[in-house]
Amino acid sequence: MMLGRTCALSVTLGATIALTSSAAFAGGFASARFGGERGNPTETNPSTLYYNPAGIGMSEGTQLMIDVSTAFRTASYDRPVSAIDDQTPFPDDPEKNARALAANSGQGTLNNIIASPMFGISSDLGLDTPLRLGFAFYVPFGGQAAWDEQSASDEFPGASDGSQRWYAIDGSIRTMALTGGVAYHIEPARLSLGLTGNVYLSSIETLRARNTDGSDDLEAGGNLKEGRSLVKGESTDFGLGAGVLWEVWRRKAWLGASYQSMPNFNGDIEYEGTLQNYLGPAPGNEADIKLTSSLPDVFRLGIRVRPKARYEFRLFGDYTRWSVFENQCLVNSTIEDAAAACAVNDDGSFASTDADTGRVIQNLPRNYTDSFGVRAGFSYWFSADLEMLLGGGYDSNAVPDETIDASLMDMDKFTASLGVDYRFTKWFSGALTATNVFYLERDTSGSDGNNDLRLPSRQPGNQGVYNQNIFLINTNLNFSF
């Protein structure tokens, strides 16, 4: 039986609860970098409908923004032999034993290009009032990935999907946002207040290798054991955003603060979809499922100072409450209260003897921690039409050593940006910004892992060495009417 990418529908119970590897530019798997260096809580362009909706209150006329962020991502996961459950699967055949260990360890690699669009518009509707309205579409969380194929033998064909296959082979996860906003400018106080309503459209489609017992065994009884699991799901959720922007020093300094709520105000997301399983040589099956997950709320604060016409300084940051992301759980669609059914003890076992637990397919602990980021920027105008932008920053890691895996890797990271903005006409300008995200290597080889847990939370060993780098090009077009 072929187990490589040609067997994309081969799956196993519970394999699907891991998210697809994502291009995370901030903590966790936050991915919003639209607006480039002008995407922050002190600006007045349409991107502020996400970063700080009060910003559009200080805009003039009608502003239209079209933005595309293109990320070039490389990543690797080097799985040590020590992460394998059974390191002597064939004790009577040393040569086969060595081949089995090689097929279940080593380095998996990824080389992907990921594009993320953003569209936004704000307007005073041609009326002489302090009220502004806006609408935006963007992708604040998620990404997509396809891990490189590896060489493999007919003996262990599953190795062609790489050592990271127990957590990620390919797929996508994304949360898209549709935002409508309103802002009011109190001109005597040089103060703008903003409010948005957000509709979040989340989807997931991810493929990984799995066995029914949560192990990484390649054979059972002389037959190939390794299977594949594919999940598809969708969810629609709601949230609010609010912000304030104060022009501290007329036309020279601005102070902004904003808040984006969790989806549904509690962070809980429940995907509805299907699970397709192929258990080694067994025929495949499909079932309706629910997949529980969580997304955080975000606090932002920033200051922008332009003491002279030719230069400007920016400093801004965010605090993201990833600690709400405690676990993911895959359950039969007939369970009404999935969160209650999925409650587990510290060792991963069920915390309840409720009958619903019999229809829980698998639980995956995440136990994220809150993250923060800070960025500084500088602009210099060579002329009234030509602006150079510089930026740099730091974002912290949200993923503990015990729960990091190839589907959701995060590290402490630094960014460096260089861009140019040129006003071609009175009503049209364009910006191009290049940013590199430098991730610090993470080595969790000596840590506890998911293989130390009990069912339904047990997973193959996720210990190892994680690396990645993202080079990002942001293209931004702005129209004024």
Spatial CA neighbour of 331 closest among 268, 264, 272: 272
| pTM as predicted | 0.92
* Per-residue pLDDT at 220: 77
Residues in the chain: 481
Q: Looking up tokens 């518009």, which residue turns up? A: 121
| Tokens matching residue 7 | 């067997």
CA distances to 336, 338, 339, 431, 466 from 331, in Å:
10, 7, 10, 46, 30
Task: Indicate the pairing of strand 465-480 with strand 428-439.
Answer: antiparallel
Q: Indicate the DSSP class of residue 48.
A: H
356 phi-psi bin (left φ>0, alpha ψ -120 to 50, beta other) = alpha
* Per-residue pLDDT at 113: 93
Number of folded domains in the chain? Answer: 1
* Per-residue pLDDT at 4: 45
Q: Are 224 and 3 in contact (CB under 8 A)?
A: yes
Q: Domain of 321: which CATH number? A: 2.40.160.60
CA distance 467 to 109: 9
Q: Give the structural domain span for 48.
A: 5-480
* Per-residue pLDDT at 5: 47
For the chain, 481 residues long, give each residue's pLDDT as a single digit of tens.
344 443 433 333 333 333 333 456 677 788 889 999 999 999 999 999 999 999 999 999 999 999 999 999 999 999 999 999 999 999 999 999 999 999 999 999 999 998 999 999 999 999 999 999 999 999 999 878 899 999 988 899 999 999 999 999 998 889 999 999 999 999 999 999 999 999 999 999 989 998 888 899 998 767 788 889 999 999 999 999 999 999 999 999 999 999 999 999 999 999 999 999 886 555 567 899 999 999 999 999 999 999 999 999 999 999 999 999 999 999 999 998 888 888 888 898 888 776 566 678 888 899 999 999 999 999 999 999 999 999 999 999 999 999 999 998 999 999 999 999 999 999 999 999 999 999 999 999 989 999 999 888 999 999 999 999 999 999 999 999 9
Spatial CA neighbour of 385 closest among 359, 355, 423, 414: 423
Q: Are 371 and 398 in contact (CB under 8 A)?
A: yes
